[in-house]
Amino acid sequence: MDAIPYTVEERPDTGLNNVKIGIWLFLASEVMLFGALFASYILLRVGAPPGTWPVHGHEYLDVPLATLNTAFLITSSVTMVMAWAALMRQRQAGTSDLRKYRIYMALTVALGFGFLIIKYFEYSAKFHHHWYPSTNNFLAIYFVLTGLHGLHVIGGMAVNGYLLVNTKMWKTAPQQFANRVETAGLFWHFVDLVWIFLFPILYLL
Amino acid sequence: MSGEHMDIDKHVRTYVLVFAGLMVLTLVTVAISYLELPLGPAVALALFVAIVKGSLVACFFMHLIDERKLVYWVLGFTVFFFFCCLLGPWLSEINEIGPDLLN
């Protein structure tokens, strides 16, 4: 059976390989998923009767913890792209030392884990105060948006963790492996991008 | 971006600069929230900073600044439908105030 074409080489008509166009189409669908929830947030906020929506998100939420989480995700985005750059440097030099790649990728996974731990403490504090999604519309949309985002963090960490541990392909098909890391990176940066918008609308406004 | 012939050192320098910029802008976002601005300007400023941060991530970490035309087309359609999605709340508001406008 023939291998699937254009997994590594670029198609002559689009200039993209299948993996690249696939991840961008997937991210487009993700934009619509979060877009619908952002629209729901605006609808709930604009339609809230006076006095039923918190004046600031920090009446319920912890801004310093969320700021720390923002720093974690931004740092993990830069370590992710550095992991890919480390691979490309090896490709250009014609060597196969994965040490730097592993360090950066491990940092990326660790920072994602740190983000989830802080989220756990944030959720625990809400439940301790008996603040649940059913308490009011603000908390409902807060839990839906951050919960869905948290699931994306877990998904990204699973893929990044796999690429950290399973590097066999680097020996047999290095460019394909580098493309996989780049694709996982695109998803991870998207997760960071979503948080960049969630942080001000939920915590600060 | 295939990365076969690119200058990696130049890219790494850019990543570090963008990282520093994102951290500074995060602090700016938090500082703005403590200014106690009225809701309209607060939303406009916070979204402006978030859009700048998002653009930095998309352009440099996701390499959109140097991508193929087809990706721009896909994203162009996505942005169009995303704004259509955000029109929902606005149309709902028009629906609410419409009868008042007629009277």
For position A160, which CATH number holds? 1.20.120.80
Q: How far apart are CA A162 and CA A167, in angstroms?
A: 8
Residue A58 domain-assigned (yes or no): yes
Q: Confirm or reject contact between A165 and chain B (CB < 8 A).
A: no
Q: Which phi-psi region, left, alpha or beta, contains residue A6 (left: φ > 0; alpha: ψ -120 to 50)?
A: left
Q: Which domain holds residue A189?
A: 18-204
- Cβ atoms B1, B66 nearer than 8 A: yes
Residue by residue, pLDDT tens for chain A (205 residues) are 567 788 888 898 888 999 999 999 999 999 999 999 999 998 898 888 888 888 777 889 999 999 999 999 999 999 999 999 999 999 888 888 899 999 999 999 999 999 999 999 999 999 999 999 999 999 999 999 999 999 999 999 999 999 999 999 999 999 999 999 999 999 999 999 999 999 999 998 8
Q: Residues B68, A16: contact at Cβ < 8 Å? A: yes
As given in the structure block, the two tokens for residue A16 are 């993209």
Q: Is residue A12 part of a domain?
A: no
Residue B101: how many other CB atoms lie within 10 Å: 7
Specify the length of chain B in residues.
Answer: 103
Q: Is residue A6 part of a domain?
A: no
User: Does residue A1 lie within any of the structural domains?
Assistant: no
Query: How many domains, chain A?
Result: 1
Give a yes or no: residue A50 inside a domain.
yes
A166 within domain boundaries: yes
Closest Cβ opposite residue A39 in set B23, B75, B86: B86
> First CA to last CA across chain A, in angstroms?
57
Beta-carbon neighbour count of residue A154 at 10 Å? 12
Chain A CB within 8 Å of residue B17 CB: no
Asked if ipTM goes beyond 0.85, one says yes
Q: What is the pTM of this model?
A: 0.92
Q: Which residues of B touch A182 (CB under 8 A)?
A: 1, 3
Q: What is the pLDDT of residues B23-62, one digit of tens each?
A: 999 999 999 888 888 888 888 999 999 999 999 999 999 9
Q: Is residue A158 part of a domain?
A: yes
Query: Is residue A177, in this structure, part of any structural domain at all?
Result: yes
Two tokens, residue A42: 């605006």
